[in-house]
């Protein structure tokens, strides 16, 4: 598995992911195909500007298996990082989503700008809640969120990508740090 930025040729994958009743069962139902070309164009531009990260999951044979998206928006009047993911049906159940989400969180931690990353899988989404749990997200509770204009009952998970503060003993002048000279 490798991650690559979204490209205009990903329209077909977008249609299969976002306009399919099975893929969208936990996301309020399929979206209309009419808006997808514009959505891909917006995502390509956003990725090219390094504003949002819209990563496609690519396999050894270059087949596209799914996507992981990390983006910034406002919630409750505050800047907010959110992550979401999708894997096409024929590639599900082999650990790809978990591996790709872990990889994006690792890149986000190295990048340093994303801080607390929030995820809102529907409370009934077994695999997605499993991914959050097993990758070390913390569960904050349940919350209604709007996704593409539809209200969903979700689990609110958060993962901290901010660099950990160094232990006090490693800070010059800190306890046991041996500084001060």
Q: Does residue 8 touch ligand COA according to CB under 6 A? A: no
Count Cα neighbours of 175 within 13 Å in the Cβ-side half-sphere.
2
For ligand COA, which stretch binds (CB under 6 A), given 39-47, 92-100, 105-113, 171-179?
A: 92-100
Residue closer to ligand COA, measured from CB, 45 or 59: 59
Please state the closest distance from residue 60 (CB atom) to ligand COA, in A: 16
Task: Using alpha carbons, select from 106, 102, 165, 107 the residue that is nearest to residue 134.
Answer: 102
In the list 51, 94, 113, 153, the residue contacting ligand COA (rule: CB under 6 A) is 94
In the list 86, 104, 105, 152, the residue contacting ligand COA (rule: CB under 6 A) is 86
Please state the closest distance from residue 68 (CB atom) to ligand COA, in A: 9
118, 71 Cβ separation under 8 angstroms:
no
Helix (H), strand (E) at residue 40:
helix 36-48
User: Which residues are within 8 A (CB) of 95 and not within 5 positions of it... i.e. 6 or more apart?
Assistant: none
């Amino acid at each position: 598995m490798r991650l690559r930025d979204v490209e205009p040729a990903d329209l077909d994958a977008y249609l299969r992911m976002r306009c399919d009743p099975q893929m969208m069962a936990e996301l309020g139902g399929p979206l209309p195909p009419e808006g997808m070309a514009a959505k891909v164009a917006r995502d390509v531009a956003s990725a090219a500007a390094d504003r949002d990260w819209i990563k496609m999951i690519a396999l050894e044979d270059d087949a596209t298996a799914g996507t992981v998206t990390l983006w910034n928006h406002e919630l409750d009047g505050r800047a907010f990082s959110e992550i979401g993911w999708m894997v096409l049906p024929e590639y599900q159940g082999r650990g790809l989503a978990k591996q790709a989400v872990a990889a994006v969180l690792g890149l986000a931690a190295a990048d340093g700008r994303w801080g607390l990353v929030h995820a809102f899988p529907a409370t009934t989404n077994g695999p997605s809640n499993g991914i959050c749990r097993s990758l070390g997200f913390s569960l904050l509770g349940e919350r209604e969120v709007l996704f593409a204009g539809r209200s969903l009952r979700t689990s609110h998970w958060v993962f901290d990508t901010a660099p950990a503060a160094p232990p006090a003993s490693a800070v010059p002048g800190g306890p046991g740090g041996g500084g001060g000279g």
